[in-house]
A = this chain, B = another copy of it.
């Protein structure tokens, strides 16, 4: 296959990292020499929608990619904090914190629009059972006590269990309901 780009960015929040994310990374890696995996909303954790710290999310991604034998010189993981709802400056923050890149892989309409308005090349990613492989669905299943192990790489499953992530999620849900 012909390498089209030297460096691309794949943007996600990874709350938590699931098999859909893995598919996207594999697709993006087929298009670039090197992929920057941007861990968005890096400052958030301990809310029901954003339960894991950036550090925990980086750990998940590294373990999952290692199990897939993706070589560490093919990707960089970079956490980026939000601009607190000020979308107009987000792209220039990203370009300041990340090494130079040529293409952005995303299906998210706002992310796509912001990069396009700033003059970047944006490519979409083939969808892969999107309803099933979604962080919202993983969190819902953890809360409901349904099977979620099948939605995430096994390294991510055992990591979340090891840090008590399922119990944390239940606490956060109770906290949201009370407030």
Whether the Cβ atoms of B97 and A79 lie closer than 8 Å is yes
Assembly of this chain: how many copies? 6
Q: Cα distance A54–B78 when bound, in Å?
A: 11
Q: Which residues of B contact A108 (CB under 8 A)?
A: 175, 178-179
Whether the Cβ atoms of B110 and A172 lie closer than 8 Å is yes
Q: Which residues of B contact A95 (CB under 8 A)?
A: 55, 88
Question: Which of under 10, 10 to 19, 20 to 34, or 35 or more describes the interface residues of A?
Answer: 35 or more
Identify the closest chain B residue to A88 (Cβ).
B96
Chain A interface (Cβ < 8 Å from any Cβ of B): 42-47, 53-56, 58-59, 62, 71-73, 76-79, 81, 83-89, 91-93, 95-100, 108-114, 118, 168, 171-172, 174-175, 178-179
